[in-house]
Homo-oligomer: A and B are copies of this chain.
Amino acid sequence: MSAADATILLVDDHSVVREGYRSVLQKQPGLRVIAEAADGAEAYRLYKSETPDLVIMDLSMPGIGGIEAVRRIRQWDKAARILVFTMHENAGFAVQAIRAGARGYVTKTSPPESLVRAVKDVLAGKIAISPDIDHELALSRISGESSAADVLTPREFEVLRLLLAENTTEEIAETLHVSPKTVANLHSLIKDKLGVGSDIELVRLALRQGILTEVDLGEA
């Protein structure tokens, strides 16, 4: 392990997956895994104490998720290099991750070589995006599916989040200190803006765009 080795922090809540990362990266000269974390909070803590050259970060994790972890790390170190490596092939997640400050986005379906290449690219200062995600992004542009976070006003987005949570119209009206009528109006307006006809479609859209993640369901 030469002093010139690039140091890496692995973040994934599945230990077997971390094992896989390590196995792949070990074969590459010049790379050294110096720490591992199983959730966002631990990742943040370890980044501050170890200041690795690169973080490889999963998104779906209990507690503080990957996106939030990216945000926090970047807030602490504007120069942090974070490569998101996740199962989610949705363009929505990629957009969120990059906006949060990630320098790369690679899906887990990619072959190991792609991960290695992305690692090297990010270390070299480049931005690395999976080809399939590039394609997804292009498609979402073409199909014109509006990103909820973009077309909705803050208030509308807030109502959307609460709707997806599990609250009834009345409960949401209660928490927001407005009349149930307003919530119903916003609910209708949101569906209109997002171009969906039913609540079921609304939930599907939210899942696609990563507003609601499957792991959230456990907390119900």
Report if A220 contacts B (CB, 8 A).
yes
Report if A112 contacts B (CB, 8 A).
yes
A54 to chain B, nearest CB (A): 16
Contact with B along A21-55 (1 / 0, CB 8 A): 11110000000000000000000000000000000
Contact indicator A14/B200 (Cβ below 8 Å): no
Q: Which of chain A's residues 42-84 have a Cβ closer than 8 Å to chain B?
A: 60
Which residues of chain B have C-beta atoms less than 8 A from A156's C-beta? Answer: none
* A89 to B203 CA separation, bound complex (whole angstroms): 21
How many copies of this chain does one complex carry? 2
Q: Which of chain A's residues 166-220 have a Cβ closer than 8 Å to chain B?
A: 166, 168, 197-204, 207-208, 214, 217-218, 220
The interface residues of chain A, by DSSP majority, are classed as helix
Contact indicator A112/B207 (Cβ below 8 Å): no
Contact indicator B214/A164 (Cβ below 8 Å): no
Q: Which residue of B lies closest to A61 (CB)?
A: B109
Contact indicator B204/A166 (Cβ below 8 Å): yes
Report if A20 contacts B (CB, 8 A).
yes
Contact indicator A111/B20 (Cβ below 8 Å): no
Q: Which residues of A contact B (CB under 8 A)?
A: 13-24, 60, 85, 87, 89-90, 108-112, 115, 163-164, 166, 168, 197-204, 207-208, 214, 217-218, 220
- A-B pairs, top 6 by smallest CB distance, nearest first, are A20-B20, A19-B20, A14-B108, A199-B199, A16-B20, A203-B203
